[in-house]
Structure 1
Amino acid sequence: MTTPSSARAFDARHVQLARALFAALAATMITFSGDHSAALGLSVFSGFALATGLVFGLSAWLVSPAGQRVTPVLLAVVSVLAGLVASVTTWRTTGLFFGVVVAWALLSGLVELIGAIRDRKAGRTAGVRDGVLIGIVTLVLGAALLLPFQQYALDYSIAGAGSFTLTGITIAVGLFGGYAAVVAVFLAIAGFSPRRPEPVPAASPEEAAS
C-alpha cells in the first residue's frame, strides 16, 4: 500500500516553487519596465494574483489533507477575485490599483498568517515558517500602500536627461515589484532546501487490529 505522501505528484515543495516562479515573473516585468503606471501595475498584478490563486486552488485539492483546506481555499478565492477585478482594462486607474492591491494584501496576508499560526499550534511544521513570513511581508505591503501616495508628485531633473516627475503610483508599483521579488527569493530558497520528513502519526488500535 502506498502512503499519501508517496502517492502525491504535487506537494508542498511544488507549491512553494510555483508561487516563487509567478512572483519572480511579476518582479521581473515591473523591474525591467520603464512604465510604472497604474495600467502596467494592475496588468502585472492581475496575472500574478490569478496564477497564485490557481496554485492555491490546486494545493487545496492535491496537497492539503481533509480538514486543513480552509487556508488555501480562502487564499485562492481572495487572489482570484482580486486578479479578476484587476484584469478589467477599463477599470485600471490609480485608485483601483491602491484599492485592489491593499485589499488583497491585507486579506491574504492575514489569512496566511493566521493559517500558519493555527498549523503551528496543531503541531504541524510543513510550510509554517513560510506562512508566517509571507503573511507578515504581505501585510507590510498592504500597510505601506495605505500611506498617502496617491496625490504625491515630485518634479526633478537630471542633467543631460531632462525633467521628470516621481508620482505616488510609480512608488506603489515599485513597492509591489519589490514585494514580489522578496517573495520569489524566499519561496525559491524554501522550495529547494532539504527538509525533514513529516512525522508519521501512530496507527489507531482499530487500524492495528485490522
Structure 2
Amino acid sequence: MKIGQFLRALVALGVGIFITFSQDHSAALGLIAIVIFSLATAAVTTVEAFAIKGSAKIETIPAIVLGIVIGSLGLMVTENQTQAFVLLVAAWGILAGSFELYQARSVGLKTQNGRDYLISAVFSLVLGALFIINPLDIVSMVGFFGAFAVMSGVHLGIAAFTPGK
C-alpha cells in the first residue's frame, strides 16, 4: 500500500462526503472545503516528503507551498466569497494539475506512478478549466468541487492499493 496516496484519498473522500451531505452548498461551505482540502493535502505531502530520499523530495515543495497558500488565502476571505471560491479552486486546479503533469512526465508516463499522476492531473486541470471557462451558480460550483473530491479520492484509493511491479 502506498501510504501517501491512501492519506490523500482519505482527505479527498472526506471533503467530498462533507460537501455531498451538506444541505447548504453556499460559497462559505465551498471555502471551508477548499481550505480543508488544500491544507490537509499540504500536510500529507509534507509528511510524505520526509519519507522520500533524493531529488524527489525537492519536487514536492511546490505542491506543499501551493496547498498552504490556497488554504491561507481561503481563510482570509471575508467578502465576495463566491468570487474568492471560484478563483481559489481555479488557481488550485490549474497549478496543481500542471505540477502533477510535470510529475507524471518526470516519473515516466509508462510507469504506474506516472499514469496515476497523469489521471490526477487531468482531474485537476479539468476542474480548473471548468471554473475559468464556464461560470456557473455557486451551488453547481460547490457540487462540482465535491464531485472532483470524490472522484480523486476513489482514484487515489485504488492507486494506493494497486500492487507495484
Query: TM-score over 0.5 for the alignment?
Result: yes
Cα deviation 1:50-108 (Å, max 9, x = unaligned): 00011112222212x21112332111110111011112352461000011110111001
Equivalent AA in structure 2 for residue 52 of structure 1: T
Q: Map of 1:72-151 to 2, 5 A cutoff?
A: 72-88=60-76, 90-91=78-79, 93-120=81-108, 125=111, 127-149=113-135
CA distance in 2, matches of 1:172, 1:14: 30
Gaps of 5+ in 1: 1-11, 153-167, 197-210
Q: Is residue 67 from structure 1 mapped to residue 36 from structure 2 by the alignment?
A: no
Gaps of 5+ in 2: none
Cα deviation 1:83-140 (Å, max 9, x = unaligned): 111123524610000111101110011011111111117x8x4621211110111000
Corresponding residue number in structure 2 for 1:47:
36
1:191 aligned to which of 154, 160, 165:
160
CA distance in 2, matches of 1:144, 1:175: 9
Alpha carbons of structure 1 residues 46 and 91: separation in structure 2 relative to 1, 3 Å? farther
The CA RMSD over aligned residues, in Å, is 1.8
Equivalent AA in structure 2 for residue 35 of structure 1: D
CA distance in 1, matches of 2:112, 2:50: 17
- Percent of paired sites with the same residue: 34
Query: Runs (4+) of structure 1 moved beyond 6 Å?
Result: none
CA distance in 1, matches of 2:103, 2:78: 35
Return the TM-score normalized by structure 2.
Answer: 0.93
2:138 aligned to which of 156, 169, 172:
169
Alpha carbons of structure 1 residues 92 and 27: separation in structure 2 relative to 1, 3 Å? farther
Residues 17 and 187, structure 1, Cα contact 8 Å, conserved in 2: yes
Residues 50 and 80, structure 1, Cα contact 8 Å, conserved in 2: yes
Alpha carbons of structure 1 residues 108 and 24: separation in structure 2 relative to 1, 3 Å? same
- Residue-pair matches, total: 165
Partner of 1:99: helix, strand, or coil? helix
Q: Which has the higher strand share?
A: 1
CA distance in 2, matches of 1:190, 1:41: 27
Return the TM-score normalized by structure 1.
Answer: 0.74
CA distance in 2, matches of 1:68, 1:84: 25
Alpha carbons of structure 1 residues 26 and 131: separation in structure 2 relative to 1, 3 Å? same
CA distance in 2, matches of 1:91, 1:51: 24
CA distance in 2, matches of 1:126, 1:60: 19
Q: Which has the higher helix share?
A: 2
